[in-house]
Amino acid sequence: MEISSQSLTYVKARVSADKLGGEWSYDPSHDKVEFAFTDSEGPTDTTTWYNGVWEVRAKPNPFKYVAKCLIGPGSPVVLEEGAYQLWVRITDNPEAPVELAGIIKII
């Protein structure tokens, strides 16, 4: 995904969740969600995590839950031109998965 450095926009990550090996679906929208933007090394102990918010869709297409984070001028996340790995961390109890959601390029 390419985004202009002039843009104020949400970056989004589709999220699916289930319990007991898919026996029933789980609503993650009550869990804390955060985003990190890193180089090719991925997140470290010193990585800055930014708060995200949830978008819950009435009709899944195919994902019902989308985590999103506002980036760009005027937001808490202003990225310089370059390529970044987009990481999502969801804090639940006891799990706190950290997953690569994609690559973004700021131009």
pLDDT attached to residue 23: 64
Q: The CATH number of the domain where 75 resides is what?
A: 2.60.40
Q: Do 106 and 3 touch, CB atoms closer than 8 A?
A: yes
Q: Which residue has the higher pLDDT, 24 or 55?
A: 55
Could you give the angle at the alpha carbon of 6 between the alpha carbons of 35 and 48, nearest 5°?
25
State the residue range of the domain holding 50: 2-106
- Look at the chain and report how many structural domains it folds into: 1
> pLDDT for 83-94, tens place per residue?
999 999 999 888
pTM over 0.85: yes
The overall average pLDDT reported for the chain is 90
* DSSP code for 51: E
Q: From residue 93, how far is each of 29, 56, 97 by CA, in Å?
A: 13, 21, 11
72: DSSP letter? S
Selection from 22, 25, 75 nearest residue 53 by Cα: 75
